[in-house]
Structure 1
């Protein structure tokens, strides 16, 4: 194989034969280039690390993400080590990219538009300077820090202070709200534009169970329910156990004669977006309404509405924002309205009691979208008790 095909052969004289080492090097370079182009513009492989999408997607599902569905995103940080996201292999802190060249957000044409309830892979939207500011000058940093639980703070600080958009962590959720939608959750039920939202047929929900024996489910029962374990709560006299169950599993538990009831998370939660529980006493199960920004749409701004769109205005759309009393200044001019420059989306996990999603960190900008989850190509189950390959999930389309 000749990489530099445009160079003419020298006239006359014998041609020098390539060594085996040179042939292997040329082949390796060619393979890396082709694989990088496929990974950048066609599809990419991902693995499910957590249970936030149970049972639509399971831990240790390996899937392909289609980048041509919505149109491949042109790399914004082109100088990067092949096949690495943000750190070099076998290291924890060494960057795998250089910011010497930064390209603006652009996306090639795709085969479809983003539709409500698509399962989408995207870059985590909170790795920005507002949330991670160490200077103490950013009001958003203080609001978020003051109102987050220790667990939520730990999750947010697990990322470095700043990375380029296309080098942030990759997450996968269901896009339950597209640009222009209004999202609300009432008693655990999702509503989109005032109508009941999508309910995944095999989604998990937290339930409290009080068994007749007073003990947690045994190994056989857990296997029948497809569980990996629960945890005990309460006193010895009124012990109950919390499990994440599907509707079918709930029906089976009831047949066993155990007492079961929903475990709604209706208490006010610190760390819930927009991070101000004094004004917005919301939780995972009682939330909203929230308007999802649409490109070209205009919202009226005041100090009550601003917390929802502060990060959009400052970090995603790169404006200067200042608040003086009840007055809002954008780029030095007092304003009472703002027109959005990008489309945004609202993401939620199918396992909605065990998912950190838009209810915690708000909107996902269009420049953070990577692609549409397409097909599961490999899957296995692993616990401290057993290991097996989930053959039935091979080449399953993701819906």
Structure 2
């Protein structure tokens, strides 16, 4: 849907811009020429008649009114920032259903809004970033996860423990060994899944500190893990030009463990802040429909980590 909306914005911007240009360079001069001819043929031409001759057609007036606004929105949304709504709990506790976030579109390169060709390189994802990308199995869907593995890294996820073996740089000796990403328990029971109290841990990825959730009652679904050729179960070697993504809600996130890697071409941008957060706690017998917010979580508005 987001991709189609981007295309729609570009088409409307081009259409209204072309109409405005045609009017400025072709139709407006013709209207002024008709006015000059009328003034030469008629003495004392009234202001009303002059205005009638110079009057723009309705579609031109509409296009000239819409173009500046739609062009501003297109530039803002395509190259600078784009709003997204969090639809699921896969990034809890960092992001909740009902959070509205801003994504910095230029963080990983400036791309054209239609074909998504990189025009200017501005940066690359860092370990720990929260990033939005096109779901590799269906690019029409936007996903949001956290960057765990960079190109060349080896990611190991066994018994709900995360290990990262960073890529060996050229000339580096010895090469890095797998390192456990340690975490410390913060609380339990702040969040529930099917009535099960979830364990909340504090974790650090790169320079980013954040919290994750673990469901102690849910077995690790290794049978559904993505099996990369040449690696053991639960182990992933991140190819060049790709990234390994995981949700903070580790036992309730369909991520790279299940479908593989995120290609660089699929990157949309980096999530930078929550600009609004709504609660949706309405019951079936409430007067208002379920999609109407039941409250605002002002305490959640701010930057992300």
Q: Secondary structure at the match of 1:353?
A: coil
Measured after TM superposition, the shift of residue 380 of structure 1 is 1.1
Map 1:18-167 → 2, pairs under 5 A: 18=56, 22-75=60-113, 78=114, 103=115, 106-127=117-138, 165=139
Mark the runs of 5 or more structure 1 residues left unpaired by the alignment.
Answer: 79-102, 128-164, 208-224, 232-240, 249-260, 295-342
Which of these two proteins has the greater Rg computed from alpha carbons?
Answer: 2
For 2:250 and 2:77, the matched residues in 1 are separated by 30
Measured after TM superposition, the shift of residue 22 of structure 1 is 4.8
Residues 230 and 180 of structure 1: CA distance in aligned 2, closer, same or farther (over 3 Å): closer
Residues 200 and 3 of structure 1: CA distance in aligned 2, closer, same or farther (over 3 Å): farther
Describe the superposition over 1:75-100 as per-residue Cα deviations: whole angstroms up to 9, x where unpaired. Answer: 4xx3xxxxxxxxxxxxxxxxxxxxxx
For 1:200 and 1:53, the matched residues in 2 are separated by 18
Measured after TM superposition, the shift of residue 55 of structure 1 is 0.8
Mark the runs of 5 or more structure 2 residues left unpaired by the alignment.
Answer: 1-16, 37-49, 166-177, 203-214, 284-292
Q: Calculate the TM-score normalised by the size of structure 2.
A: 0.66
Residues 62 and 70 of structure 1: CA distance in aligned 2, closer, same or farther (over 3 Å): same
Asked if 1:173 is matched to 2:184, the reply is no
Map 1:1-399 → 2, pairs under 5 A: 3-4=20-21, 5-7=24-26, 9=29, 10-11=32-33, 13=36, 14=50, 16-18=54-56, 22-75=60-113, 78=114, 103=115, 106-127=117-138, 165=139, 168-193=140-165, 194-197=178-181, 225-227=189-191, 230-231=193-194, 242-247=196-201, 262-263=216-217, 265-266=219-220, 268-269=222-223, 271-274=224-227, 282=233, 287-288=234-235, 290-294=236-240, 343-384=241-282, 387-394=294-301, 396-399=302-305
* Higher relative contact order structure (alpha carbons within 8 Å, sequence separation ≥ 6): 1
Measured after TM superposition, the shift of residue 126 of structure 1 is 1.2
Residues 70 and 6 of structure 1: CA distance in aligned 2, closer, same or farther (over 3 Å): farther
For 2:102 and 2:185, the matched residues in 1 are separated by 22
For 2:277 and 2:238, the matched residues in 1 are separated by 34
Which has the larger strand fraction?
A: 2
Which has the larger helix fraction?
A: 2
Q: Secondary structure at the match of 1:192?
A: strand
Measured after TM superposition, the shift of residue 69 of structure 1 is 1.0
Q: Calculate the TM-score normalised by the size of structure 1.
A: 0.52
CA contact (8 A) 1:119 1:175 kept: yes
Describe the superposition over 1:172-206 as per-residue Cα deviations: whole angstroms up to 9, x where unpaired. Answer: 0001011111101132121111123385997x9xx
Describe the superposition over 1:288-326 as per-residue Cα deviations: whole angstroms up to 9, x where unpaired. Answer: 1x21011xxxxxxxxxxxxxxxxxxxxxxxxxxxxxxxx
Measured after TM superposition, the shift of residue 125 of structure 1 is 0.4
Residues 230 and 189 of structure 1: CA distance in aligned 2, closer, same or farther (over 3 Å): closer
